[in-house]
């Protein structure tokens, strides 16, 4: 027998590292341990299992050729020498190089010697200490068993009203699972002032919130939960500062925490997650770690982050497998590429959002764009809304976000940016990206090009913007020093010209140069169109004619529409 490899954790990173190591070193003796009996399941598929899109939980455990990934599978197909489920690793003795384990069914304890150890201990849902969190019917989805339990309740018709706590990706996916296919009255409570906090910024988050509401999901931001109440030990409502939400089920989706106790007890270097180098070695070179339990380097900030994503766990597993076999493969770090479905929307991002970029000390600004995902004349082309975050001083691209229809168009743009982000592109580098075009799939200039053009125009002072919030405030308060100039078709402008006489005027796009005398020189001029492209061109003419205070709200009226804002 070759060297002894023990892998703790058998969901994503663990099995991947075990199997890759075994393929590279068939002579090695590989042991795979997990405290659960359901292993190697597609955890990211749980919301679709709960919704019913995926009828059977075994589908989350099957290979593409329909073998269930159980103990038999890993032993016989993958050749893992020992597959120990319902087995808890309780302690690592690094001196003697043994793992102490407890077999949960028999209570038996013993030791497993290793030459190399892999920690793939995953993460545990974080549940804030809210009174009532232990009531029956309050869940956090820590594993497939919990998902099965929730689905059984749904199937038995026991759930009419659901409250989700946390509007991150999992919270929103769960909200859709409840509301869409099961028709459950669903409320999402979010501590921050927007959905998907830190991941996307308000211009796109407001769009998602509006969409959720259109789909019948109640979204409460700035929620301050006081307690969860129950009757006969069973949850009945969630009490928030400003109201109370009846609930037959409460699901916490308030993030996860890396499982680091085992590593910490063994004296390994642990910060928020287990600290590893770029070959995924811990502070003990014989011990590797990967998946949700580690810290990795964020390639935009250069700082260490915990980023618990199934895709990273799989990639890290292969890197560990290589290193176990003496191949010095590296895991260079992360850029935080993310994609999700939310009812009829695709939402994606990578790098830093504006709020995070500013908190990290960048001189960050943002540019918005919206355009059709395909040539605008191609049938059924729908709009994609994107935000680019960049640093004003060094012109570096820091992040990118998109919300589009539930096609793969959003994925396409995130794929492009997440691939290039480790190369520290500037705004100009995005303008130079070559992005394939044919009318059924794209415009001649990709939405990435267009938003990069906008960002460059901002950087060079060609385009001067005003935040929509400020523009809306001035409109609503009737600010006498501001006039709105609508450059759209007369039919589009007319209702607003009537509603805001003297303050909302119409000068059509192609007449701006000829009818400039209609536009006052002594006021702030806010230029309006649907996407801000015509408004930008109008601004160029006005600036050339000496107008000093002209402003364009980013992204145009299309954003307001998607926020559900009526002018």
Judged by CB under 8 A, the chain residues 278 through 337 that form the site for a copy of itself are: 309-315, 318, 329-332, 334-337
The span of 60-68, 92-100, 125-133, 155-163 binding a copy of itself (CB under 8 A) equals 60-68
Please, which residue, 284 or 408, has the CB nearer to a copy of itself? 408
* Rounded least distance, CB 41 to a copy of itself, Å: 10
CA dist., res. 169 & res. 174, Å (int): 9
Kindly state whether residue 60 participates in binding a copy of itself, applying the rule CB under 8 A.
Answer: yes
Q: What is the DSSP letter of 72?
A: H
* Rounded least distance, CB 327 to a copy of itself, Å: 8
Kindly state whether residue 348 participates in binding a copy of itself, applying the rule CB under 8 A.
Answer: yes
3-state SS assignment for residue 366: strand
Kindly state whether residue 408 participates in binding a copy of itself, applying the rule CB under 8 A.
Answer: yes
Judged by CB under 8 A, the chain residues 383 through 402 that form the site for a copy of itself are: none
For Cα atoms 143, 138, 56, give the angle at the middle one, nearest 5 degrees: 40
In order of 150, 250, 272, the CA distances from 156 in angstroms are 10, 17, 40
CA dist., res. 172 & res. 256, Å (int): 15
* Rounded least distance, CB 416 to a copy of itself, Å: 4
Classify strands 296-297 and 304-305 as parallel, antiparallel or unpaired: antiparallel
Please, which residue, 21 or 270, has the CB nearer to a copy of itself? 21
In order of 200, 270, 490, 560, the CA distances from 497 in angstroms are 34, 62, 10, 17
* Rounded least distance, CB 488 to a copy of itself, Å: 7
**Cβ-contact 328, 198 below 8 angstroms:** no
Could you tell me the two tokens for 282?
Answer: 């811990």
Kindly state whether residue 125 participates in binding a copy of itself, applying the rule CB under 8 A.
Answer: no
CA dist., res. 135 & res. 212, Å (int): 28
The residue within the footprint of a copy of itself, chosen from 1, 64, 241, 566 (CB under 8 A), is 64
**Cβ-contact 56, 46 below 8 angstroms:** no
Which residue matches tokens 């919270």? Answer: 171
Please, which residue, 268 or 496, has the CB nearer to a copy of itself? 496
Please, which residue, 104 or 431, has the CB nearer to a copy of itself? 431
The residue within the footprint of a copy of itself, chosen from 6, 127, 274, 346 (CB under 8 A), is 346
Query: How many CB atoms neighbour CB 56 within 10 A?
Result: 9
The residue within the footprint of a copy of itself, chosen from 9, 14, 15, 45 (CB under 8 A), is 45
Helices (H) and strands (E) in the chain, counts: 16, 29
Tell me which of 44, 293, 350, 529 is the catalytic residue. 44
Kindly state whether residue 191 participates in binding a copy of itself, applying the rule CB under 8 A.
Answer: no
The residue within the footprint of a copy of itself, chosen from 68, 98, 431, 497 (CB under 8 A), is 431
Q: What is the CA radius of gyration of the chain?
A: 27
Judged by CB under 8 A, the chain residues 131 through 170 that form the site for a copy of itself are: 169
Judged by CB under 8 A, the chain residues 483 through 542 that form the site for a copy of itself are: 488-489, 509-511, 513-514, 529-531, 534, 537, 540-541
* Rounded least distance, CB 214 to a copy of itself, Å: 19
Q: How many residues does the chain have?
A: 567
Q: How many CA atoms lie within 13 A of 453 on its CB side?
A: 12
Please, which residue, 376 or 393, has the CB nearer to a copy of itself? 376
Kindly state whether residue 29 participates in binding a copy of itself, applying the rule CB under 8 A.
Answer: no
Please, which residue, 23 or 234, has the CB nearer to a copy of itself? 23
Please, which residue, 185 or 373, has the CB nearer to a copy of itself? 373
Classify strands 345-351 and 364-372 as parallel, antiparallel or unpaired: unpaired
Please, which residue, 45 or 137, has the CB nearer to a copy of itself? 45
Could you tell me the two tokens for 360?
Answer: 């990290």
Pick from 143, 141, 138: which is nearest to 225 by CA?
138
Judged by CB under 8 A, the chain residues 364 through 383 that form the site for a copy of itself are: 371-373, 375-379
Mark whether 19 is an active-site residue. no
Please, which residue, 47 or 132, has the CB nearer to a copy of itself? 47
Q: How far is CA 34 from the centre of its chain?
A: 28
CA dist., res. 393 & res. 409, Å (int): 31
The span of 202-210, 353-361, 420-428, 476-484 binding a copy of itself (CB under 8 A) equals 420-428
The residue within the footprint of a copy of itself, chosen from 6, 30, 31, 78 (CB under 8 A), is 78
The residue within the footprint of a copy of itself, chosen from 416, 459, 471, 525 (CB under 8 A), is 416
Kindly state whether residue 3 participates in binding a copy of itself, applying the rule CB under 8 A.
Answer: no
For Cα atoms 214, 216, 220, give the angle at the middle one, nearest 5 degrees: 90
The residue within the footprint of a copy of itself, chosen from 273, 409, 553, 554 (CB under 8 A), is 409
70 phi and psi angles, rounded to 5 deg? -115, -170
**Cβ-contact 405, 399 below 8 angstroms:** no
| Residue positions annotated with a catalytic role | 44
């Amino acid at each position: 027998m070759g060297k002894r490899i023990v892998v703790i954790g058998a969901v994503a990173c663990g099995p991947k590292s075990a199997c890759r190591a075994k393929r590279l070193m068939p002579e090695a003796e590989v042991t795979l341990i997990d405290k659960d009996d359901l292993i190697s399941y597609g955890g990211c598929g749980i919301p679709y299992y709960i919704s019913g899109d995926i009828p059977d939980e075994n589908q989350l455990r099957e290979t593409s050729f329909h073998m269930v990934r159980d103990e038999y599978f890993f032993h016989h197909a993958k050749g893992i020498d020992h597959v120990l489920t319902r087995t808890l690793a309780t302690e690592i003795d690094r001196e003697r190089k043994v793992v102490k384990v407890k077999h949960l069914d028999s209570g038996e304890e013993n030791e497993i010697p290793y030459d190399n150890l892999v920690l793939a201990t995953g993460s545990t849902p974080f549940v804030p200490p809210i009174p009532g969190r232990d009531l029956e019917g309050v869940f956090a989805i820590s594993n497939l068993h919990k998902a099965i339990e929730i689905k059984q309740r749904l199937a038995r018709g026991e759930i009419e009203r659901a409250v989700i706590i946390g509007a991150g990706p999992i919270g929103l996916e769960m909200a859709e699972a409840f509301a869409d296919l099961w028709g459950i009255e669903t409320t999402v409570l979010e501590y921050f002032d927007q959905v998907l906090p830190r991941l996307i910024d308000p211009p796109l988050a407001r769009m998602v919130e509006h969409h959720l509401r259109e789909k019948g999901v109640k979204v409460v931001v700035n929620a301050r939960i006081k307690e969860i109440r129950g009757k006969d030990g069973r949850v009945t409502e969630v009490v928030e500062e400003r109201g109370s939400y009846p609930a037959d089920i409460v699901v916490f989706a308030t993030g996860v925490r890396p499982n680091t106790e085992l590593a910490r007890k063994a004296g390994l270097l642990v910060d928020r997650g287990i600290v590893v180098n770029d070959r995924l070695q811990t502070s003990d070179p014989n011990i590797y770690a990967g998946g949700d339990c580690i810290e990795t380097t964020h390639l935009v900030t250069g700082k260490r982050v915990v980023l618990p994503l199934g895709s990273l766990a799989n990639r890290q597993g292969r890197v560990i497998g290589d290193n176990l076999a003496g191949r010095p493969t590296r895991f260079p770090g992360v850029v935080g590429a993310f994609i999700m479905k939310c009812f009829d929307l695709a939402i994606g991002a990578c790098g830093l959002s504006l709020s995070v970029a500013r908190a990290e000390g960048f001189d960050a600004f943002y540019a918005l764009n919206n355009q059709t995902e395909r040539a605008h004349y191609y049938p059924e082309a729908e709009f994609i809304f994107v935000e680019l975050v960049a640093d004003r001083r060094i012109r570096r691209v820091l992040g990118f976000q998109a919300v589009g229809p539930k096609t793969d168009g959003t994925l396409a743009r995130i794929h492009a940016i997440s691939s290039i982000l480790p190369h520290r592109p500037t705004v100009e580098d995005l303008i130079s990206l070559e992005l394939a075009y044919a009318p059924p799939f794209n415009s001649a200039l990709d939405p990435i090009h267009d938003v990069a053009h906008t960002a460059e125009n901002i950087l060079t002072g060609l385009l001067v913007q005003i935040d929509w919030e400020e523009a809306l405030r001035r409109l609503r308060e009737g600010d006498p020093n501001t006039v709105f100039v609508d450059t759209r078709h007369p039919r589009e402008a007319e209702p607003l010209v009537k509603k805001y006489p003297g303050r909302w005027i119409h000068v059509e796009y192609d007449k701006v140069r000829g009818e400039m005398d209609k536009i006052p020189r002594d006021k702030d001029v806010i230029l309006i169109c649907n996407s801000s492209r015509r408004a930008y061109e109008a601004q160029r003419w006005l600036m050339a004619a000496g107008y000093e205070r002209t402003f364009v709200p980013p992204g145009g009226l299309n954003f307001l529409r998607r926020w559900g804002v009526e002018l």
